Amino acid sequence: MATNIKKTSVAGRVPNTFTLSTDGDIGINTHDGKMYISNSSNVFEVGANISGNVTIGGSISIGNEINTVRGIRFEIDNPVVEPLIPTPQEGLMTWNPVEQCLDIHQNDTTLQVGLEHMTLFRNTTGATIVDGTVLEVIGANGDGNPTVALFTANSSADSLHVIGVCTESVANGALGRATKFGKIRGLNTTGSPYSETWVIGTELFISPTVAGGLTSIKPSPPNQPIFIGTVTKVGTTDGIILINTPTITKLRYGSFSDTTTQSAVTANTAYPIKFNTTDFAAGHSVASRYSGSNNAIVAAISGLYNYQFSLQFSSTTNQTRDIWIWPRKNNVDIPNSATRISITDSTTYVVAAWNFIVSMQANNDFQLMWAASQGSNTISITAFSATAFCPAIPSVILTVTQASI
């Protein structure tokens, strides 16, 4: 179809669809220096505001901002797909018909709007971080981006530090992205890199032994059982994991005991109970404080903790003797906390067992104190060796559990 070009030199004259009646007709006003083009239904001034429907078959570049946009409709029946996406991809946004969302292309990664959450980080580990490894925040650099390390879910780990799973290969010193929630593609999800077998639906945990690694075997305490995602497609190079980074707080706990007999040397004198064994612990430890040895349990992290204990008392006399038990925090007696019990003879063993709930700050210490109404080592917290029919009896057992996050 031929294109008609019509020209006028009359000031202010604008052609209409009667003058430019065919698609592609062009009108030129030489006086005003303006050009018009028609699509038979509308006439548009080239370079001016456009109203009505316009189809542009190629790319368009806009040198300034676009104002007052009511909506943008992406092609969903014939969307731009990977083979047609020009390179570099950074800054391109397209409709994804498979995931039914908008894709924002970011060089080697794609953010699926509404379905994923990513965080930009700086790799300062000294080595390339590979796709699919779990990362934790360890600091920040001058550009405001966090710096990271490979995360290992061992006894000293804290899931609050996990930033996500690396979603691209990131060279040392470069910026990269970690997926906190969403799908990571292009992975080996057979489980073979970890000598495991994974299938669709396999739940994955952060490895307690391989830095940044994954495992389908739920770690046992004192390692951290941190769930990180689910296998949604199995493949050696095209596998997919749905990542769901945890936001739970690690619980702190401890179990401590003493295998020696502890005696009251002087009557009516306060003694801190000692511990020579740490059975297991996370966030608590035995310390020597206030000129004593192994006489305090220190909290590494602030929190509300439940201290439970059992003490086995014995006496060398057949007279009734009194025993007092109470807690101290930071070398100060906790008010209204003491209990008084009695032991009546040398053949009776009295077990004291109860608990205290104490609010602690980081590096605060807890002490379990006791005193007896008679000294000279006649009253003791007694330990016994193992027999043929039962294990050893510690003189002291104390456990700590976190009562509140």
- pLDDT of the chain along its 405 residues, tens only? 567 788 888 888 888 877 777 887 888 888 888 888 887 678 877 766 555 565 655 566 666 777 777 777 777 766 665 555 555 467 777 777 777 777 877 777 777 777 788 889 999 999 999 999 999 999 988 788 999 999 999 988 888 889 999 999 999 999 999 999 999 999 999 999 999 999 999 999 999 999 999 999 999 888 888 999 999 999 999 999 999 987 677 788 999 999 999 999 999 999 999 999 999 898 999 999 999 999 999 999 999 999 999 999 999 999 999 999 999 999 999 999 999 999 999 999 999 999 999 999 999 999 999 999 999 999 999 999 999 999 999 999 999 999 986
Task: Name which of 369, 299, 309, 310 is nearest 334 in CA terms.
Answer: 369
1-60 and 117-244 share one fold: no
Q: 3-state DSSP call for residue 194?
A: helix
Q: Using CA atoms, how far apart are residues 228 and 233, in angstroms rounded to an integer? A: 16
pLDDT at 230 (0 to 100): 97
Check: CB of residue 172 under 8 Å from CB of residue 127: yes
Check: CB of residue 227 under 8 Å from CB of residue 246: yes
pLDDT at 60 (0 to 100): 65
Evaluate the omega torsion of the peptide bond into residue 222 and state whether it is cis, within 30 degrees of 0. yes
CA angle 292, 296, 301 (to 5 degrees): 140
Q: Using CA atoms, how far apart are residues 224 and 161, in angstroms rounded to an integer? A: 13
Q: Which residue, chain included where needed, has tokens 């006649």?
A: 378
Tell me, which fold does domain 253-404 have in CATH?
Jelly Rolls (2.60.120)
pLDDT at 8 (0 to 100): 85
Architecture of domain 1-60: 3-Layer(aba) Sandwich (3.40)
Q: Using CA atoms, how far apart are residues 214 and 64, in angstroms rounded to an integer? A: 47
pLDDT at 89 (0 to 100): 66
CATH, domain 117-244, list 2.60.40, 3.40.50, 2.40.300, 3.30.230: 2.40.300
Domain limits of the chain? 1-60, 82-112, 117-244, 253-404
pLDDT at 83 (0 to 100): 52
